Structure 1
Amino acid sequence: MHKSWKQISVAIAATLALAACGNVSHDVAKDGHSAGELVWPTPDQVTPMHKGGTFPNLANLRQMRAGLNKQQVSDLIGYPHFSEGVWGVREWNYVFNFRKPDSDDVTVCQYKVLFDDGKVARSFYWKPESCAALLVEQKPAAPSREEMPQHFTLSADALFAFGKADITPEGRNALANLATALRAHGDQVRSIHVTGYTDRLGSAASNQRLSERRAQAVMDVLVQDGLPSSKIQVEGRGESDPVKDCPDGPHAQLVACLAPNRRVEVRIDQ
């Protein structure tokens, strides 16, 4: 009997640990888009298995976006590194390590995910904020006049939030680099064709509209960055012309597999 009660006690303790010890931040909004006060646990408070933080999979971390449920978040970046709880709380905290290219130096960053009251991820934060830049893929230097390519393929996931047509700050930086390269060859550029594509998730009609809006958003940024609107043509082709075919499976894995199809192509005519 004594052994049975001990086993039950252990099970109850494990369940409570997974359920919740309470959010760390204060007054997390019901929609998960903000908190009255963001509170960061100190890195030395991580659970023993996460001591020292972890080196995240950058490809997975770049796929983090609003709309993922807790299981999908855990599939991408694992369960939280602190003991605030897993299922019952609306905040997960992590300590991530990033190794600098060609160096043994390591940058330590904290990452926070806020969930709405339906336990869907809605907002994301870094401490320090500069850590967000570590996820931006290095862009090649602007090509010389003799080497200007005539076709650019831009990942929609790098430009937009999933299912949206609003360009992210990181996306604006990528387009600024493209605009700089094109302005350097302004006298060689006769026309610029911007074509948006989506994956096959969702209806064909909504995908068509989304591809058109994304192509237009890219054009708008290029014009803001000094390219003449008279030379730019936009087109949305929805889910047509996929570059990768993926079998049905768990939603998070399918979204990741279909990523190459979510793109904006820019073709330059000289």
Structure 2
Amino acid sequence: MGREVQRIGQFAREGRHGSRRGLPLVSRLQKKRNNIMKTQFHRFSAAAVGAVALLVLQGCSSYVSKGITDDGKATEVVFPNIDNDAWLKEGTFPNLDNLRAVAPGVTKDQLYDLLGRPHFREGLAGPREWDYIFHFRKAGGGVTTCQYKAIFDKDYKAQTFHWLPAGCGDVLAARPIPVVERQAAAGLAAPRRTTLGADGLFRFDGRSLADLLPEGRRKLDGLASDIKGSVTSVQSIKLTGHTDRLGSSTYNEALSLARANTVRDYLIQAGVPAQTMQVQGKGESEPKVQCAQTRRVELIDCLAPNRRVEIEVFAER
């Protein structure tokens, strides 16, 4: 192409570009040069698009589980390298109750509420897997480090969950000793129970501190004042969230846990020691009332007692 451009320049210097003899040749050379440049541009564009597509498919990371299906399974589960791929290499100590609340069908938002954002660079275009680094304290001392993976279906709902090493999942199967049993063994009095209706605490479908109603804040302020007044004898506080049966069980479990966590956070802000509190969400599993109304408004009103947060304060006898 360089010699052809030189010839065009030569014709221009000799004044032939305006003659009948020179004009057709110059036009042909210009047309040929334009065609060559267009071809090179198209090749470059195709290469660039291919590179971007490869990055998207790879998720900008060195690991991708093989054969992820529409229903959220993989023919080969691949775990990322912590040193190369993790942005949070130190990992976290997860809340075991939150981990137990994870079940097939949870959305990315719900998983974020329960476990936080994934600890690895997960890609650009709708990644179908999230990875975490979790630490668990051993009974005899020391710490076990595990990797945890959730794989999503085509609708981005987590369906399968994997551990590395595989035995790490046993920590969820271990039955924790109920608080009541522990307190009785320690010679503590029966807990003082307070039940706060969720409708009086939160805006409709709310779960965060920003969703607390003024009346709900006043109730929590009063509760915090009572707890702090007897702080020397308070050993532990158990917060349990409950919902009604409307909505999916997965959604209700996440909602009940989020509301209990919000009550805990508010009490901490009010001065209640964080180390005394334990949180769990039971979703719709422990209703106080059963309702059969067919009109939705009436059904919602009837189910109100099921939407609640229960607070149990354990103190010395």
TM-score for the superposition, normalised by structure 1: 0.46
- Indicate the structure (1 or 2) with the bigger Cα radius of gyration: 2
Q: Which of the two has greater helix per residue? A: 2
TM-score for the superposition, normalised by structure 2: 0.40
